[in-house]
Amino acid sequence: SAAHDRNDASFTGQVIVVRGTVLEIGMDGALPAIGASLRCRLGEGWITAFVHAHLDAARLQAIALE
């Protein structure tokens, strides 16, 4: 998945787990800020999610909106 925060910084990572509208995402490098919007590829489509929590130095939890 590709992600962009409010400052248009780019982050990359992988959706690890989907639980309803909650996504767990493993990031390659720095984590985007809590509240940052993410554009995530799931299957053949794209969804928007917002960072809800940092789980550790490499994983975050996000809430999907679309």
Residue 66 is predicted with a pLDDT of 74
The per-residue pLDDT for range 38-58, each reduced to its tens digit, is 988 878 888 899 999 999 999
CA 6, chain centre distance (Å): 13
Q: What is the pTM for the complete model shown?
A: 0.81
